């Protein structure tokens, strides 16, 4: 089926980010398979993460179908765009249908994006994660690719005002080595392994980030263990 919505949205996003001179760095993009199904499991620090996670798949020329809460699909502007891009609505009262839809997409050779923390992390660390990403990858027999984003919280995150016109912000997107999971393996153990890999990628992104807060009042976007004022996990 022709992609009528997704490519123009990507082009618009890239144009906007160029206008703002956002310094996007994608590391490990070659680790995402260029064909066949795959699950991307990413940390979550901003309302904009799905955009940058999607751009992280561009080196492999893949389009990512994200799982997102159903309320987003009811929004008068975002809803038609989300449906047009083929994203997957999640009704938390009846999540089985969303899970089955995601597995079907994976078996059909698509890439599905998941934020396994299920909410934005106010601590800017990888908090506890749910096992859905592991279980979907196992059910569809596809690779599970850990990912980390960093810097997006400076543009728009929970509890802070939007600064969508802020210029020159570095944004890091790191992809790790794919995990292979099988239906018979321990989903809880694999979920703990996934969380460790995501946390290691985030540590790397934070350690290599090219900017530091400009003053004491700007330390809100750093986690507490790096000297920031974000709440502890």
Helix (H, G, I), strand (E, B) or coil at 222: coil
pLDDT tens-digit readout, 83-95? 999 999 998 777 7
Quote the pTM value. 0.96
pLDDT tens-digit readout, 49-69? 999 999 999 999 999 999 999
**pLDDT of 1 over the 60 cut:** no
Judged on CB neighbours under 10 Å (0-12, 13-18, 19+), 70 is middle
Number of H helices, E strands in the chain: 7, 7
pLDDT tens-digit readout, 190-230? 999 999 999 999 999 999 999 999 999 999 999 999 999 99
Please report, to the nearest 10 degrees, the dihedral formed by the alpha carbons of residues 7, 11, 17, 18 taken in order: 150
Q: Quick one: average pLDDT of 175-204?
A: 96
For residue 119, the model assigns a pLDDT of 95
């Amino acid at each position: 089926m022709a992609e009528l919505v997704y490519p123009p949205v990507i082009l618009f996003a890239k144009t906007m980010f160029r206008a703002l001179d956002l310094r996007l760095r994608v590391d490990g993009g070659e680790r995402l398979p260029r064909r066949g199904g795959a699950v991307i499991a990413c940390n979550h620090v901003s309302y904009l993460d799905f955009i940058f996670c999607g751009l992280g798949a561009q080196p492999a020329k893949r389009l990512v179908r994200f799982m997102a809460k159903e309320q987003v699909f009811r929004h008068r502007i975002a809803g038609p765009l989300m449906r047009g891009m083929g994203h997957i609505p999640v009704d938390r009262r009846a999540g089985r249908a969303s899970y089955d839809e995601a597995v079907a997409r994976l078996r059909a050779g698509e890439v599905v994006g998941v934020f396994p923390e299920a909410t934005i992390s106010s601590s800017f660390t990888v908090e506890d994660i749910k096992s859905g990403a592991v279980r979907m990858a196992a059910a569809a027999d596809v690779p599970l690719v850990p990912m980390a984003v960093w810097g997006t919280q400076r543009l728009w995150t929970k509890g802070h005002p939007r600064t969508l016109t802020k210029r020159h912000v570095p944004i890091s997107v790191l992809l790790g080595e794919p995990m292979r999971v099988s239906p018979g393996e321990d989903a809880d153990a694999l979920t703990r392994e996934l969380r460790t890999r995501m946390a290691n990628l985030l540590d790397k992104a934070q350690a290599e980030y090219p900017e530091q807060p400009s003053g004491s009042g700007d330390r809100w976007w750093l986690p507490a263990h790096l000297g920031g004022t974000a709440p502890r996990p």
